[in-house]
């Protein structure tokens, strides 16, 4: 069985798997993994109002410990394809780079952990002597992520699968391969602030109550710092993303004004405590004179932290042995499927360098694919020691 990450990455990139399309990517992996002796299962998950999405679970070995690798084969759309110098679904090789949508986010990462697992199994006589390797691959990460990893994990648990540790192959490195492991993510909470006044003629403001004044007062109050950060996280941050009155008339004081905001919060807060904090600040600033309400959006992006442990030490050591760099444990950036995995087992995110993800001419260096494969290979070897 070939364990060439470049060949696997190119084959995956050629699958047009824009969320929620499977695009042949999971079928391709199914073939590769089944041939190597993995038990492969495909599951399509549905939810009303969303497109059904296919997912793949594969496992080899039937004893503990079970080391899981997780990732997504879906990609964001390429945008205007004529602006690409290399076809987004061509898997072209030019110079030291492999080009295409998903090259770093994250078909390249999947290619590396698949190649590493196959290589390890080959060296081990085709099957693990002890323990198991599992793969959790979703087609619903770049979209709304309701028919993906969250349901694949539930399904696996219902079928008696347990995981001891997981590595999610998202592009975690900032500048160079080996600089960063993501060991946690901030939570994300969105809401809308609605201030209600009284509509009226601009020439007679005393007969009206302009909600824009109240909105400005509350916006100012809510932008105060939320905390000073914690041992493993930067300070939480609230950012207003839209202010909406929708008034097209010049001589009318509107009756209502709204502002949308998003908070990226650290482990100083739970979602409930954070909502209480925001609502209390608004109450103080309103001082009984501004009539307002909050609408909170449901969120499945809670903050989490994977604390330093022998597993994180093992990953750091493997990365250092292959690259000569000691990665830092970071909790920066947006949310990822690790927020779901953390409820089942400790999870670290480590993959390619993220610089070109979601960009035109997304690309990964061939050298990086080889190095990342060597790192995953080393992690597997150390893990099953
Ligand atoms: Zn990704």
Could you tell me which residue, 223 or 124, shows the higher pLDDT?
Answer: 223
Which pLDDT does position 125 carry in this prediction?
A: 83
- CA-wise closest residue to 104 among 16, 170, 6: 170
* Per-residue model confidence as pLDDT tens digits over 221-243: 999 999 999 999 999 999 999 99
CA of 358 to the centre of ligand 1 (A): 9
pLDDT for 297-308, tens place per residue?
A: 998 899 999 999
CA of residue 352 to ligand 1 center, whole Å:
11
At 59, which helix (H) or strand (E)?
strand 53-60
pLDDT tens-digit readout, 56-103: 999 999 999 999 999 999 999 999 999 999 999 999 999 999 999 999
What pTM value is reported for the model?
0.91
For the question of residue 313 being annotated catalytic, the response is no
Q: Is 74 annotated as catalytic?
A: yes
Give the DSSP H or E segment for 240: strand 237-244
Mean pLDDT of 135-143: 95
Handedness of CA 200, 201, 202, 208 (dihedral sign): negative
pLDDT tens digits, 348-377: 999 999 999 999 999 999 999 999 999 999
Would the pLDDT of 46 be above 80?
yes
- Rounded to an integer, the average pLDDT of 153-179 is 98
Q: Which position has the higher pLDDT, 36 or 128?
A: 36
- Asked if 364 contacts 100 with a C-beta cutoff of 8 angstroms, the reply is no
For ligand 1, a single-atom ion, the residues with CB < 5 A are: 105-106, 170
Task: Please identify which of the residues 22, 141, 161, 337 carries the catalytic annotation.
Answer: 141
Say which residues have a Cβ less than 8 Å from residue 384's Cβ, sequence separation at least 6: 65, 67, 128, 129, 130, 131
- Whole-number Å distance, alpha carbon 72 to ligand 1 midpoint, is 7
In what helix (H) or strand (E) does residue 118 lie, and over which residues does it extend? helix 107-123
Check if the beta carbon of residue 248 is closer than 8 Å to that of residue 219.
no
14 C-alpha vs ligand 1 centroid, how far in Å? 17
The answer to whether the beta carbons of residues 144 and 55 sit under 8 Å apart is: no
Q: Which two tokens stand for residue 223?
A: 């932008």
| Distance (Å) from CA 283 to ligand 1 centroid | 39
Find tokens 């060991």 and name the residue: 183
* pLDDT bucket at 143, cuts 50 / 70 / 90: confident
Mean pLDDT over the full length of the chain: 96
C-alpha distances in Å from residue 179, one per residue of 146, 308, 377? 31, 17, 18
CA 168 / ligand 1 centre spacing (Å) = 9
How wide is the angle at C-alpha 122 spanned by C-alphas 119 and 123, nearest 5°?
90
From the candidates 22, 54, 74, 349, give the one annotated as an active-site residue: 74
106 Cα: distance to centroid of ligand 1 (angstroms): 5
The answer to whether the CB of 61 falls within 8 A of the CB of 157 is no
Cα–ligand 1 centroid distance for 108 (angstroms): 10
CA of 137 to the centre of ligand 1 (A): 12
Q: Measured between alpha carbons, how far is residue 187 from residues 81, 302, 340 in Å?
A: 34, 4, 12
Q: How far is the CA of 215 from the centre of ligand 1 (A)?
A: 36
């Amino acid at each position: 069985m070939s364990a060439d990450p470049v060949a696997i990455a190119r084959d995956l990139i050629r699958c047009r798997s824009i969320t929620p399309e499977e695009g042949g990517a999971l079928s391709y992996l199914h073939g590769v993994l089944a041939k190597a002796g993995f038990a492969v299962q495909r599951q399509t998950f549905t939810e009303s109002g969303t497109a059904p999405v296919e997912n793949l679970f594969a496992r080899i070995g039937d004893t503990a410990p079970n080391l899981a690798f997780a990732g997504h084969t879906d990609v964001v759309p390429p945008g205007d394809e004529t602006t690409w110098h290399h076809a987004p679904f061509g898997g072209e090789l030019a110079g030291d780079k492999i080009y295409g949508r998903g090259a770093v986010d994250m078909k390249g990462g999947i290619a590396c952990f698949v190649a590493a697992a196959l290589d390890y199994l080959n060296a081990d006589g085709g099957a693990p002597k002890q323990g198991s390797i599992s793969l959790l691959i979703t087609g619903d990460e770049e979209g709304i992520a309701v028919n993906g990893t969250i349901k694949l994990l539930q399904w696996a648990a219902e079928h008696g699968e347990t995981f001891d540790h997981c590595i999610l192959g998202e592009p975690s490195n900032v500048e160079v391969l080996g600089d960063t492991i993501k060991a946690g993510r901030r939570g994300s909470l969105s809401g809308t602030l609605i201030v209600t006044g009284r509509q009226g003629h601009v020439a007679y403001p005393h007969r009206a109550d302009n909600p824009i004044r109240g909105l400005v007062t509350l916006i100012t109050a809510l932008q105060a710092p939320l905390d000073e950060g914690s041992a493993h996280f930067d300070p939480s941050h609230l950012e207003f993303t839209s202010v909406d009155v929708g008034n097209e008339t010049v001589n009318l004081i509107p009756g209502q004004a709204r502002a949308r905001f998003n908070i990226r919060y650290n482990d100083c807060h739970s979602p409930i405590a954070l909502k209480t904090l925001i609502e209390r600040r608004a109450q103080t600033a309103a001082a009984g004179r501004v009539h307002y309400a909050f609408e909170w959006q449901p969120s499945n992006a809670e903050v989490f932290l994977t604390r330093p442990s022998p597993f994180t030490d093992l990953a750091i050591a493997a990365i250092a042995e292959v690259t000569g760099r000691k990665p830092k444990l970071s909790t920066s950036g947006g949310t990822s499927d690790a927020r779901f995995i953390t409820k089942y087992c400790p999870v670290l995110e480590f993959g390619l360098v993220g610089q070109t993800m979601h960009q035109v001419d997304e690309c990964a260096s061939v050298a990086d694919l080889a190095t990342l494969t060597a790192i995953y290979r080393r992690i597997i070897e150390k893990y099953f020691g």
